[in-house]
Amino acid sequence: MPADTNYAGSIFGGWILSQVDIAGSIAAIRRARGPITTVAVNSVEFHEPVFVGDLVSCYAEVLRVGRTSITVQVEVYAERNPSRAECIKVTQAVLTYVALDEHRRPRVVPPENI
């Protein structure tokens, strides 16, 4: 939306990062089978700007599971130019989440096959 743009007319990087964290947290919650918290944004690369009117899609994949942590990669694509639709990778990031217990303390991530 226009309110999410910077002075150059592209979408704020912070807005993109919030979408990245939402996508990454969904993958982490599913893998942890419960609540998680974001503990690190390990890396972020902005490849291309995102413009008002772009259709933005985020794809998350669990890269690694530690004792209490889950590392997730998120790739962001923008679909633009409806007359000759093109879909380009605009951002990629790696984030780390920690599984939480009922007291919001770290807990062991359960095995995948249970």
Q: Where are the domains of the chain?
A: 2-99
Residue 59's pLDDT is what? 98
Please provide residue 52's backbone torsions phi and psi, each rounded to the nearest 5 degrees.
-55, 130
pLDDT digits (tens, 9 = 90+) for 4-23: 888 888 999 999 999 999 99
Q: Any alpha helices (H) in the chain, and if so which ranges?
A: 13-32
In this prediction, residue 84 has a pLDDT band, given cuts at 50, 70 and 90, of confident
pLDDT digits (tens, 9 = 90+) for 28-58: 999 999 999 999 999 999 999 999 889 999 9
Strands (E), 47-109: 55-65, 69-80, 86-99
pLDDT digits (tens, 9 = 90+) for 24-35: 999 999 999 999
Once rounded to an integer, what is the mean pLDDT over residues 78-95?
92
- Domain 2-99: top CATH class: alpha beta
| Residue corresponding to tokens 């694509």 | 77
Residue 4's pLDDT is what? 87
